[in-house]
Structure 1
Amino acid sequence: MEVPITGFMFHSDGSGPNSNEHQHTLHITSWDGKPVNYHVHPISGDTSYDVGHYHHYAGVTEPAPSGVPHVHHYRLETSFNDQHLHYIRGTTGPAIPLPEGGHYHYFEGVTTVNGRIHHSHRYRGRTGNERA
């Protein structure tokens, strides 16, 4: 089955903080003839306890289209503990509907390596409900 989709492509030339990352992002504006709005999710939690400490993280996912199958990308910075922080970057799993409406996503991964004793932390959880 074919579903008509309209949208636009965003080109990132890699001139930002991650200057070695050239990428294209498709932004869907309609799905099967219906307009598509975008939404985000709150994302927060604590990392695993490693090398005598853990870190907290909190933020929001990148926007994704509402009402269509989708995932969200996220980029966060952890709290500053034990004289260092870590970066968290990843992609959520697919949307999981909530009985009262809306949806959430599972996420998991490993932080960047940092600290006096080089190490990383594991993290995982589920996002909060969608926000416009």
Structure 2
Amino acid sequence: MRKKRSDQHTHAVDFIRFSDTPGHIHAYSTRTSFNHGHRHQVRGRTSGPYPVPGRGHVHYYEGVTSFDDGHVHYFRGWTSPPIPLPGGGHYHTFAGETTLNDRHIHSYRGRTSEGYR
């Protein structure tokens, strides 16, 4: 017996990720610049990898700084492409500026961990 069109089972696909290193993420942790008499901690975990043709992949990151001097800042950005390590594996660099809060911003820069699943 042939099913009617309305009886067919379907799925919508909202997101597909293809990557040269599927599923890995990186941890990151660094301090911001010293502005307005204080600094903040920037830390978290990246997204999974997003392919960049001819350059490997990058990772997205975002978060909230540590609470210092009575406030926080938000941050977000993309890492560099992978930088190989001598024994295998790789890391990424990242840098940016936080959002404006309490009439100032902070800059930050660092490198991710080697990566883990």
- Fold conserved (TM > 0.5)? yes
Larger Rg: 2
1:99 aligns with 2:86: yes
CA distance in 2, matches of 1:94, 1:128: 14
Instruction: Give CA deviations for 1:89-115 in whole Å, capped at 9, x if unaligned.
Output: 000010001011110001000000002
CA distance in 1, matches of 2:14, 2:89: 27
Aligned-residue offset at 1:76: 1.4
Gaps of 5+ in 2: 1-12
Tell me the number of residue pairs that the alignment of Structure 1 and Structure 2 aligns: 102
Between the two structures, name the one with larger relative contact order (CA 8 Å, sep ≥ 6): 2
- Residue in 1 that maps onto 2:64: 77
Q: What TM-score results when the alignment is normalised by the length of structure 2? A: 0.79
Over the matched positions of the two proteins, sequence identity in percent amounts to 46
Gaps of 5+ in 1: 1-7, 11-25
1:27 aligns with 2:17: yes
Structure 2 matches for 1:1-132, cutoff 5 A?
10=15, 27-28=17-18, 37-64=22-49, 69-115=56-102, 118-132=103-117
> In 2 relative to 1, CA 100–77 (structure 1 residues): closer, same or farther, beyond 3 Å?
same
Aligned AA for 2:44? G
Q: Which of the pair is proportionally richer in strand?
A: 1
